[in-house]
Structures are given as C-alpha cells and as structure tokens.
Amino acid sequence: MSKVIEARGLVRRYPADGSPIRAVDDVDLVVEAGEAVSVMGPSGCGKSTLLHLLGGLERPDAGELSLAGTRVDGLSETQWAVFRRRNVGFVFQAFHLVDELTAVENVELPTLLVGGSRRDARRRAMALLERLGVAEQAGHLPHQLSGGERQRVAVARALVNEPLVVLADEPTGNLDSRATGDILRLFGELRQARQTLLIVTHDARVASTADRLLTMRDGAIVAQTRLGEGTSVAGLLAGLADLGGER
C-alpha cells in the first residue's frame, strides 16, 4: 500500500500569555491509500489544527509532511496552493460554498482553477452531482438548498479533481439527524470506493464509520484503534433482543 499522508513530528504553536500553546504537539501520522481515518477529541485538543496542517491551510513550526511521497512542508504559499487544488479536497462544517454561484458552478470551480476546460468541468460536476443525488438542484443557489444538499454539493466540489485525500472538518456539525444520515451513507460509499479520507469530528456516528480512529488530547494523539474488528454482530443483536428471560 502507498502512503498518502506521512507526517513526522508535526508541531504547531500559538502565541499565548507566558509560554506558547502547543496546539499540535509532535504528531506522527501515516494514512495509507484508501484508508478512512477519523480524529476525535475534546474541543481545543488540536484536531482541527492538525487537519489544517495536513492540508496546508496552516504551516507547521516543526516537523515533516509528505503527501503521496512529495515533501510539502518546504513549499511556498503559491506552490502549496497549486498542489492543494489538485490533490486535496476539503469539506467544512460551514460548507464554504460561493453564494453567488449555482450548485454546479461551485462544483466546477476547482477544475477551472487547475486549467480544465469548461466542457470537462461541467461534465465532471454533473456526474458527481448525479452520484451524490443532487443533480436536480444543479441550477440552485446555495441559499435555495437544504443543509444536507449544501453539504453534498460541498462533497462533490471536494471530489471533483479526484484528490489524493479528502479532509473533512466536522462535516455534519450543522446538519439535522436525517441529513447526517445522508452524509454518513455518502462517506460509507466513498470508503467503499477506496477514497482516502480524514475526518475530524465530535459526532460518534461519523467517527465510527472510519477504518481507524485516532483520539487527540492536548495536541497529541493519545489512542489509535481499528474499528472494523472485535465486537460480533450476533452478540449485538442478542443484546437488542434481550427481553429479560421468562420473567
């Protein structure tokens, strides 16, 4: 398997009264191609900062970062921007869609930014909207869409340049239970399609869909586990059907 993310000794400090806070404190992380990883932890544990470092939205104060074998920690802002457009897809809690553009235009944007043709951009965007079940809303502006639809459009935009990795920061944070269900199903499909995914979340439902779960505390990864193993379905079902014997 090839390593899509390889981080060694990542550190990010924020200035504070007295000594600076180490928001990300000496983090090592390897994510293999096709792996879905979720990161949980209390607010302020550094999980969003870690995601920003991995996607080049913030720069580390120390440490090394390679994406698909390319060292990126030494890139200039402009080089990072170019690399990111092709290789990293972002999904945020607040969607970050351009309000003045329709759903399909939002999804086309990343392709146009890397120099794709209008025709190619439209074709890719429509194919993704179709796949994510929002093709009928292609001509709608973001404010005409429900929260769940907006997030599906945002996921389409993240996927349109076939990125090496999709980084999602609280993707269900603004969604009601039904829309969360839709997004969970969507991430399940991405996982089956072997899309490499890193999801930062406090939502246990979202976190539990990953192959591997990382727990962060005070800027460090304090626990890691594979989720697909262990517990038997039979045991779970027996627990559900336990009506307390013949009492």
Q: What residue ranges bind other proteins (CB under 8 A)? A: 42, 184-185, 188, 204-205, 207-209, 213, 215, 217, 222-223, 225, 227-231, 233-234, 236-238, 240-241, 243-247
Residue 1 vs 240, nearer CB to other proteins: 240
- State in angstroms the smallest separation of the CB of 239 from other proteins: 8
Tokens read off for 88: 């990293």
- State in angstroms the smallest separation of the CB of 240 from other proteins: 4
Q: State the burial class of residue 13 (Cβ atoms within 10 Å of its Cβ: 0-12, 13-18, 19+).
A: middle
Collapsed DSSP state (helix, strand, coil) of residue 134 = coil
Residue 115 vs 228, nearer CB to other proteins: 228
- State in angstroms the smallest separation of the CB of 103 from other proteins: 25
Q: State the burial class of residue 242 (Cβ atoms within 10 Å of its Cβ: 0-12, 13-18, 19+).
A: exposed
Residue 157 and residue 91: Cα distance in Å, rounded? 9
Residue 53 vs 190, nearer CB to other proteins: 190
DSSP string, 197-232: EEEE-S-HHHHTTSSEEEEEETTEEEEEEESSSSS-
- State in angstroms the smallest separation of the CB of 84 from other proteins: 31
Residue 106 vs 180, nearer CB to other proteins: 180
